[in-house]
């Protein structure tokens, strides 16, 4: 066995998957063989969620059944609403999401059943309820009354409705739907690998998704969409952008929303999200962040040959939609639950305990001295 250390598992293939792949021949991220940007063009998020979980796109009967189940499972238990009401108002919503999914695990009658059928039912319940839990906290922390989910609304419309009490125009809902499609799945990223690692000990789906949420929170992963917005707010206006980015590069700062472990010449999700960011900016009649976006991107590519990742356009898009910045990564969560669940089920179906080795560099063997001799 080789003693070579591959820090960060860089370049290591640890298992097989059928869920997604970045296909070099079409230079695109694909879910179950379909290009993500094509799914954005032809499908609603619910269809893509079904695809990721069930391995194929639904026909209209299958979609209707899936949507009905999703809608029927949206509401939370009285207990979970109460817990959310009592959470510290200053909690980060990612911690709220993590805690909410954990509580769902306490309440779910099938928590200890990891059969494929039970896992599919539990995945759907977590998928349906997590947006409700987040929206409830969104309202509660600003002293507003919780808005219960509405069955007549789509997944995306309902999230806007539960947060703001109204559904925006259809172009805004479409842009949100597109962001969810692009965020749904990305192979063995940190949070998915976390979920698979937890699953590999034959632990349950609620635990695996709770761990995945904690992992997604970090700024090097999903948390980057919030950091992008903090950066843009700091830059404030397009006239400051060039000076700001040159200064950041001079200081060797990590510029959030740029770079990727897999894509080295651009994240294939970015052009689609950039287009919808532009549409939202036009509707909102606010081009400030778009101009800042373009200036920073141009310098990063020219000076460092580092391209933006999907978190770069989603950050300012969510801001223009009216979401608080600390809700950007939780929106990533409500989408990625689909990808995590598919990987958890895949791990269960062909499990091998994930247990790598470490190269030890601590003390040589030493004898224990009794307390009075130390
Ligand atoms: C997501 O894995 C996935 O699929 C994730 C994701 C998904 O859908 O699940 O796509 C979602 O997590 C997107 C990534 C969001 N993170 C950020 O935007 C944070 C900023 N990005 C970087 O920290 C970085 O690019 C990573 C963490 C994304 C990738 O890290 P790697 O592969 O470990 O690469 P690295 O940090 O070692 O960088 C290699 C070089 C370094 O320079 P050198 O030391 O070799 O001279 O590139 C430089 C880095 O300094 N570099 C950057 C940079 N990203 C890389 N320099 C400045 N700004 C950056 N953003």
What integer pLDDT is reported at residue 2 of this predicted model?
Answer: 60
What pTM value is reported for the model? 0.97
What integer pLDDT is reported at residue 3 of this predicted model?
Answer: 73
- For the annotated catalytic residues, the residue numbers are 221, 260, 311
Name the DSSP class of 300.
I
Our answer on whether the CB atom of 260 is closer than 6 Å to any ligand 1 atom is: yes
Average pLDDT on 191-200 reads 98
Of 25-29, 183-187, 272-276, which range is least confident? Answer: 25-29
Nearest CA to ligand 1 atom 7: 186
Return the ligand 1 atom nearest residue 183 CA.
8
Question: Cα angle vertex 299, ends 296, 302, to 5°?
Answer: 150
Average pLDDT on 275-281 reads 98
Name the DSSP class of 195.
H
**pLDDT-derived band at 246, boundaries 50, 70, 90:** very high
Residue 265 has pLDDT above 90, yes or no: no
pLDDT in tens, 100-113: 999 999 999 999 99
Round to whole Å and give the CA distance between 123 and 369: 52
Virtual torsion, Cα 268, 269, 275, 278, nearest 10 deg? -120
Round to whole Å and give the CA distance between 35 and 268: 10
**pLDDT-derived band at 1, boundaries 50, 70, 90:** low
Residue 221 has pLDDT above 80, yes or no: yes
What is the chain's mean pLDDT, rounded?
97
- Rounded percentage of the chain residues whose pLDDT exceeds 70: 99
CA distances from 183 to 21, 133, 273 (A): 14, 19, 10
Q: Domains in the chain, start-ordered, CATH in brackets?
A: 32-218+328-349 (1.10.580.10), 224-321 (1.10.230.10)
- Determine the length of the chain: 374
Ligand 1 centroid vs 257 CA: distance in angstroms? Answer: 8
Order of all β-strands in the sheet with 28-31: 20-23, 28-31, 34-35
Return the ligand 1 atom nearest residue 187 CA.
4
Ligand 1 centroid vs 254 CA: distance in angstroms? Answer: 8
Average pLDDT on 123-129 reads 98
Average pLDDT on 46-73 reads 98
pLDDT in tens, 302-358: 999 999 999 999 999 999 999 999 999 999 999 999 999 999 999 999 999 999 999
CA 301 to chain centre: 25
What integer pLDDT is reported at residue 264 of this predicted model?
Answer: 81
Average pLDDT on 280-285 reads 98
Ligand 1 centroid vs 156 CA: distance in angstroms? Answer: 29
Considering only CA atoms, which of 211, 209, 309, 314 is closest in space to residue 266?
A: 309
Average pLDDT on 255-282 reads 96
């Amino acid at each position: 066995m080789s003693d070579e250390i591959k820090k960060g598992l860089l370049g290591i293939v640890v298992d097989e998957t059928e869920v997604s792949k970045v296909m070099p021949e079409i230079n695109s991220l694909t879910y179950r063989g379909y290009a993500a940007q094509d799914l954005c063009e032809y499908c609603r998020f619910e269809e893509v969620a079904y695809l990721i979980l069930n391995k194929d796109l639904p026909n209209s009967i299958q979609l209707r059944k899936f949507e009905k189940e999703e809608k029927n499972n949206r509401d939370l238990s009285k207990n979970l609403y109460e817990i959310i009401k009592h959470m510290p108002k200053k909690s980060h919503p990612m911690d709220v999401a993590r805690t909410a999914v954990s509580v769902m695990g306490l309440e779910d009658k099938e928590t200890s059943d990891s059969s494929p059928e039970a896992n599919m039912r539990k995945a759907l319940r977590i998928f349906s309820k997590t947006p409700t839990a987040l929206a409830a906290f969104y309202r509660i922390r600003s002293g507003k009354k919780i808005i219960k989910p509405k069955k007549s609304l789509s997944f995306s419309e309902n999230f806007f409705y539960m947060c703001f009490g109204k559904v925006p125009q259809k172009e805004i809902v479409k842009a949100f739907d597109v962001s969810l499609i692009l965020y749904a799945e990305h192979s063995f990223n940190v949070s998915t690998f976390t979920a698979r690692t937890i699953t590999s000990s034959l632990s349950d789906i609620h635990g695996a998704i709770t761990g995945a949420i904690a992992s997604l929170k970090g700024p090097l992963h999903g948390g980057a969409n919030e950091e992008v917005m903090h950066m843009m707010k700091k830059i404030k206006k397009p006239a400051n952008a060039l000076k700001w980015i040159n200064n950041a590069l001079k200081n060797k700062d990590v510029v959030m929303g740029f770079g990727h472990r897999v894509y080295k010449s651009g994240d294939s999700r970015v052009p689609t999200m950039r287009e919808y960011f532009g549409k939202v900016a036009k509707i909102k009649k606010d081009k400030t962040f778009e101009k800042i976006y373009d200036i920073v991107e141009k310098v990063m590519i020219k000076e460092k040959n580092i391209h933006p990742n999907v978190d770069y356009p989603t950050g300012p898009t969510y801001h223009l939609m009216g979401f608080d910045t600390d809700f950007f990564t939780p929106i990533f969560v409500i989408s990625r639950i689909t990808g995590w669940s598919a990987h958890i089920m895949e791990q269960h179906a062909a499990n091998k305990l994930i247990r790598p080795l470490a190269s030890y560099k601590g003390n040589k063997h030493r004898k224990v001295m009794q307390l009075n001799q130390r």
